[in-house]
Amino acid sequence: MDLGLQGKRAIVTGATRGIGRAIASLLAAEGCDVAICARHKEAVDQTAAALARSGVKATGGAVDIADLAALRRWIGEAAETLGGLDIFVANVSALAQGMDEDSWRKGFEIDVMGTVFGIEAALPLLEKSSAGSIVVVGSTAMAEVYGPTRSYAAVKATLIPYVKGLARNLAAKNVRANVVSPGNVYFQGGVWNLVEQR
């Protein structure tokens, strides 16, 4: 497959497993230099090494997305290592499922604040690209209710109008912004794998 991404530079958050890793792997296979982050250094290092085997520049950082200062700093460092930035994929999620205060707070801090301020840090770099792209990984739960009411769906849904606003306001700067909402995805250690084990 040739998606015309050869030589592009991409950052993917939450990219050591599941959807995020699949995105980073596809970008690397298409010839993108890729920077990834997640919380656990060992998983980040292993994933970056696997991506580099595609013959691209791959780097990673252990970042807690809730630490916005650390996130901003890492995005700047990653883009410098890559020599610029063309694609920013906000994939990380707290996957907070409860209705308790802690679930709402975690979801808001990671899914909303991590996305918004990650994009804010990436935007000046994307505006220098000839074709900047912001991709926010959402969920079908943004539009459909599955089972009992959960904070996850409401928190994720807040990203839709935010990204629509970005798309309208950034088009003149040649930066696209989209939400992609995958359905259920099964992978080892993921939510559905855990449900299966119950």
Residues annotated as catalytic are 152
- The answer to whether 50 touches 22, Cβ cutoff 8 Å, is no
CA dist., res. 15 & res. 11, Å (int): 9
CA dist., res. 173 & res. 35, Å (int): 23
Helix (H, G, I), strand (E, B) or coil at 95: coil
- The answer to whether 162 touches 108, Cβ cutoff 8 Å, is no
Task: Quote the strand ranges of the chain, DSSP E.
Answer: 9-13, 33-38, 58-62, 87-90, 132-137, 175-180
Amino acid identity of 185?
V
CA dist., res. 7 & res. 34, Å (int): 10
